[in-house]
Chains A and B, each alone.
Chain A
Amino acid sequence: TQLLEQSPQFLSIQEGENLTVYCNSSSVFSSLQWYRQEPGEGPVLLVTVVTGGEVKKLKRLTFQFGDARKDSSLHITAAQPGDTGLYLCADVGGSQGNLIFGKGTKLSVKP
């Protein structure tokens, strides 16, 4: 059974700081998705990465996919309070056609 580990579990920073969160898999990802879940809402897809070594940018967010496709990182530059939420990584390739999620990194950005 594939296990996704995310680190750190919790992160509390001040507005303007940079941060990186990580997602590691016990096996090769089919393809990897990053989601953000805000309090009281469902997860919202941020990006999908497919190719080893791939880097994608979404405004202040930079997503990297490891060469071996077993790990990924999400870097946020100059964090803002609006970035607060639970960041989840997920593998698209569940054996039942489902998404397999990590437990997430809970980010709090204080003004």
Chain B
Amino acid sequence: KAGVTQTPRYLIKTRGQQVTLSCSPISGHRSVSWYQQTPGQGLQFLFEYFSETQRNKGNFPGRFSGRQFSNSRSEMNVSTLELGDSALYLCASSLMSGSSNEQFFGPGTRLTVL
């Protein structure tokens, strides 16, 4: 069974630009969560989507947004990029919503903001 895939794997942008990252969950999984990983803060929860609806949201500014499509694929968007947005963005899929369901992580998208 194919794992979680994320595209692109690497991305370089400049301040002020916007970016869209994509996540394809494991077949049959309906929940997708997004995390930001930085050396200073570790992994921090961004948001979770289940059946095309945002179920939960972490403590990030409104520049960070996401959506989920009917095939469970998810995208996250960051507008007006700042240097501090440089990070590894991970998505995780699970069968159902909620952290008690085992989450399977993708390899991440490494975003560098110059």
Contacts and interface: CB of A to CB of B under 8 A. Distances in A.
Main SS of chain A's interface residues?
A: loop
Interface stretch (B70-78, B79-87, B99-107): B99-107
Interface string B33-61: 10100000111110010000001111000
Interface residues of A, number: 22
Interface in A66-89: 88
Contacts, number: 59
B43 A93 contact: no
Interface of B: 4, 33, 35, 41-45, 48, 55-58, 90, 92, 97-100, 102-108
Given A88-B42, A99-B35, 17 more contacts: A31-B100, A42-B106, A42-B107, A42-B108, A43-B105, A45-B103, A48-B102, A90-B43, A93-B99, A94-B99, A96-B45, A97-B56, A97-B97, A98-B45, A100-B45, A101-B43, A102-B42
